[in-house]
A and B are shown apart, each in its own frame.
Chain A
Amino acid sequence: MDRFSVFSARLVDKSENFTSGHRACQGCAEALAVRLVMKALGRDTIVAMSTGCMEIISSPLPLTSWKVPWIHNAFENSAAVISGCESGMKAMMRKGKLPAKKINFVGMGGDGATADIGMGALSGALERGHDMIYVCYDNEAYMNTGIQRSSSTPFGASTTTSPAGKASMGQHTRKKNMAQIAVAHNIPYVATACSSFPFDLMEKVKRASETPGAAYVHILSVCPTGWRIQPHDAIKYGRLAVDACVFPLYEVVNGKYSLTYRPQRIIPVKEYLGGQGRFRHLTEKQVEQIQAFVDTDYQKIVKLSDEV
């Protein structure tokens, strides 16, 4: 655990822009991620959210968990919707129809909304360079509809549409690297984060909000229901993912990579995979293969991060 950060928890802003009464599963680290993101952003924020877990759990008519202006429109278009909000406000402020004010325009979606169905809309919004932030809450499958695989589901995971069986190891494709796809748009700020590292997460979201232009933050959001772990282990598994270098924490500022957290002791991937029901079926050999993938991918990030 990042002990230093933990002991400054009391200094964190106590106001909540995402309230209790939301209907997320027990131990939902994605709801925690939303809460932390909203802490970092503050009140002067407009959120456009994709259809998905976080939308459903936070907005059953006539109730809402949101304290900031919030809009849900469809599954695949939160990036486009928020770019419209930004364009509309920008025009109205410039024309004197609205008083000028710094507002965070934030699109949010799950991994399916981001890496699959909403990829075109997101790519378009990033490329157009709106002053916006897009946050992907990556719980590595379509959890809202019942744990179906997405392109962000990791190699080897068993889901309801990539089930492990006699003839299948489960998901047999590599996880799509959304953060690096975002980097390829030459936007000024890209970061990865995890709600198990709340200070790192909030700092990155703040930095994204302070960056003029488009920013992308990819948050690994542990899902006890879909990953088949105990709800109380949600924070632990996020930490293990980072410590095993399965999900490195880094940021890319104007194209320059830097790791924001280097594990003091890198743990074997086995320690992360073990205990998760979705990986239970994997053979030793398959785990070795995953370890090899992780080593290669992590070294790439280390190399990029060490470049001067």
Chain B
Amino acid sequence: MGKVRKGVEVSIAMADAVAQADVDVIAAYPITPQTHIVEHLADIVANGELDAEFVPVDSEHSAMSVCCGSAAVGARTFTSTSSQGLALMSEIFFISAAMRLPIVMALANRSLSSPLSIWNDHGDVMMVRDAGWIHVFVENGQESYDNVFCAFRMAEDPNVMLPVAVNLDGFILTHMIEPVEYEDDELIRQYLPEFKMKHALHPDKPVSMGCFGMPEIYTETQMHREDGVTNSYPHILKAWEEWGKLTGRYYHPIETYRADDAEYCIVTMGSYGETAMEVVDALREEGEKVGVVKIRLWRPFPFDEFRRAVLGKKSLIVIDRALSFGGPGGPVALELRSALYKKEGAPTIVNYIAGLAGRDVSRKDFRHIILEGKEKAASGDTEGFTLYGLRG
């Protein structure tokens, strides 16, 4: 494929990226709203455009298990899921990270049951927050396409060797037709050379993987994991930096918009970033000193970059897309409050939980959240959270 710009559904663009990445194995089970990604990959393989094994598994649990087996022999491996699928595979999701298997997943974020809902929020990804995967959030078609390559580059870096989830909002992003600039195959080959794994399963150099840990050694294995995730950070930055040099499109763990002189900022993760920027533009016209802080890298969490972006501001209005039942607020707000605890110049945090299961959050709603949040912050009403748009 040559360099070309086209209007394409985001799911299709992602699948095309997976094919350009010359993936060896795709194992997935159908679940809305991930389906278009894997359907298109099945087509690509069936048409002979990608030489890969498409493994149509019996469940998401088996999908991640097949991915573990495939990655363990050193094959470039891709999967995609959502919501209940992620919940079902969660056992193996944790194991894949512990075994340091560089699987890439498109995680089409969707709410968790019950009640059953196929629409978008971040309930699914928050469930596996602590699994030890790298989590990247994207907010448009181009970012989705680009970050497939970046994800493989990060995952397969010998200094990283971790699975990477590219989180994209279900329907809001997966089913959107957007302009996407496709890169030339040659550029992709340059950016993403053939993967050679240090300890792949092979009879020529046998190893044992997944041995069990007695109490005498389990703690050490967990520190090894912690170190692996934390120290993946500079290599993640490098993967994005190299991509930027080749394509002119740069990505950062924390991205800001009109935030430099802002007194307060709205904090988003995922596709809400685009709407937030439009609303901030309008509010700026009205003289509000408001900006946007977008979290692109959720794990490992970019503490320093985040603090650099927000210390000195009056307050942050954090929009969460999931609930932590019985907890102190949405998972993102909780993380940010902790990141700012006892830091000089720390802004206060007002937490809104909005857009659960795809309930529309319009520009009008954003405007309302920002202005109301500003007032709440000014009046010191910064405890807990507000479930936005709740009836009753």
**Chain A interface (Cβ < 8 Å from any Cβ of B):** 43-46, 48, 55-56, 59-64, 66-74, 76-77, 80-92, 94-95, 97-98, 101, 103, 120-121, 123-125, 127-128
Q: A44-B203, A77-B61, A84-B66 are in contact. Are A61 and B214 (CB under 8 A)?
A: yes
In the complex, the answer to whether A64 meets B73 with C-beta atoms within 8 Å is no
- Overall SS of chain B's interface: mixed
Question: Considering only CB atoms, which chain A residue lies closest to B66 in the complex?
Answer: A84
Write out the residue numbers on chain B whose beta carbons fall within 8 Å of the beta carbon of A46: 73, 201-203
Question: Considering only CB atoms, which chain A residue lies closest to B72 in the complex?
Answer: A71
In the complex, the answer to whether A92 meets B74 with C-beta atoms within 8 Å is yes
Cβ proximity bits B85-116 to A, threshold 8 Å, 1 near / 0 not? 00000011001000100000000000000000
Q: List 27 A-B contacts (CB under 8 A).
A: A46-B73, A69-B208, A70-B208, A71-B208, A72-B210, A73-B210, A80-B62, A80-B66, A82-B69, A84-B25, A84-B65, A84-B69, A84-B71, A84-B77, A87-B75, A88-B69, A91-B53, A92-B24, A95-B51, A101-B203, A120-B59, A120-B61, A121-B58, A121-B59, A121-B61, A121-B65, A125-B62
- Interface centre among B52, B58, B99, by most chain A C-beta atoms within 10 angstroms, is B58
Write out the residue numbers on chain A whose beta carbons fall within 8 Å of the beta carbon of B390: none
B263 to chain A, nearest CB (A): 50
**Chain B interface (Cβ < 8 Å from any Cβ of A):** 24-25, 27, 51-53, 55-59, 61-62, 65-75, 77, 91-92, 95, 99, 194, 201-203, 206-214, 217, 221
6 extra A-B contacts, CB within 8 A, seeds A63-B211, A101-B203, A127-B58: A62-B217, A64-B208, A80-B57, A91-B53, A121-B65, A128-B55
Question: Considering only CB atoms, which chain B residue lies closest to A64 in the complex?
Answer: B208
In the complex, the answer to whether B62 meets A120 with C-beta atoms within 8 Å is yes
B195 to chain A, nearest CB (A): 8
A7 to chain B, nearest CB (A): 32
Rounded to whole angstroms, the CA-CA distance of A61 and B221 in the bound complex is 10
A76 to chain B, nearest CB (A): 7
The residue from A70, A85, A123 contacting B70, defined by CB atoms under 8 A apart: A85
Q: A68-B206, A103-B203, A120-B58 are in contact. Are A62 and B73 (CB under 8 A)?
A: no
A270 to chain B, nearest CB (A): 40
Question: Considering only CB atoms, which chain A residue lies closest to B22 in the complex?
Answer: A95
In the complex, the answer to whether A94 meets B74 with C-beta atoms within 8 Å is no
Write out the residue numbers on chain B whose beta carbons fall within 8 Å of the beta carbon of A71: 68-69, 72, 201, 208-210
In the complex, the answer to whether A48 meets B69 with C-beta atoms within 8 Å is yes
Rounded to whole angstroms, the CA-CA distance of A59 and B59 in the bound complex is 28
In the complex, the answer to whether A128 meets B203 with C-beta atoms within 8 Å is no
Write out the residue numbers on chain A whose beta carbons fall within 8 Å of the beta carbon of B211: 59-64, 72
B48 to chain A, nearest CB (A): 12
In the complex, the answer to whether B212 meets A88 with C-beta atoms within 8 Å is no
Rounded to whole angstroms, the CA-CA distance of A46 and B24 in the bound complex is 19
Write out the residue numbers on chain B whose beta carbons fall within 8 Å of the beta carbon of A127: 58
B44 to chain A, nearest CB (A): 14
CB-CB nearest 10 A-B residue pairs: A84-B69, A124-B58, A88-B75, A80-B65, A88-B70, A84-B66, A72-B210, A77-B65, A64-B208, A59-B211
Q: A80-B66, A121-B65, A128-B56 are in contact. Are A91 and B210 (CB under 8 A)?
A: no
In the complex, the answer to whether B69 meets A81 with C-beta atoms within 8 Å is yes
In the complex, the answer to whether A85 meets B72 with C-beta atoms within 8 Å is yes
Rounded to whole angstroms, the CA-CA distance of A74 and B66 in the bound complex is 12
Question: Considering only CB atoms, which chain A residue lies closest to B217 in the complex?
Answer: A61
A86 to chain B, nearest CB (A): 8
- Interface centre among A66, A71, A120, A123, by most chain B C-beta atoms within 10 angstroms, is A71
In the complex, the answer to whether B194 meets A97 with C-beta atoms within 8 Å is yes
Rounded to whole angstroms, the CA-CA distance of A121 and B70 in the bound complex is 15
Question: Considering only CB atoms, which chain B residue lies closest to A94 in the complex?
Answer: B51
B198 to chain A, nearest CB (A): 14
Question: Considering only CB atoms, which chain A residue lies closest to B56 in the complex?
Answer: A128
In the complex, the answer to whether B72 meets A123 with C-beta atoms within 8 Å is no
In the complex, the answer to whether B58 meets A123 with C-beta atoms within 8 Å is yes
The residue from B73, B99, B206 contacting A85, defined by CB atoms under 8 A apart: B73
Rounded to whole angstroms, the CA-CA distance of A74 and B88 in the bound complex is 14
Write out the residue numbers on chain A whose beta carbons fall within 8 Å of the beta carbon of B210: 59, 71-73
Write out the residue numbers on chain A whose beta carbons fall within 8 Å of the beta carbon of B95: 73-74
In the complex, the answer to whether B68 meets A73 with C-beta atoms within 8 Å is yes
Rounded to whole angstroms, the CA-CA distance of A76 and B51 in the bound complex is 29
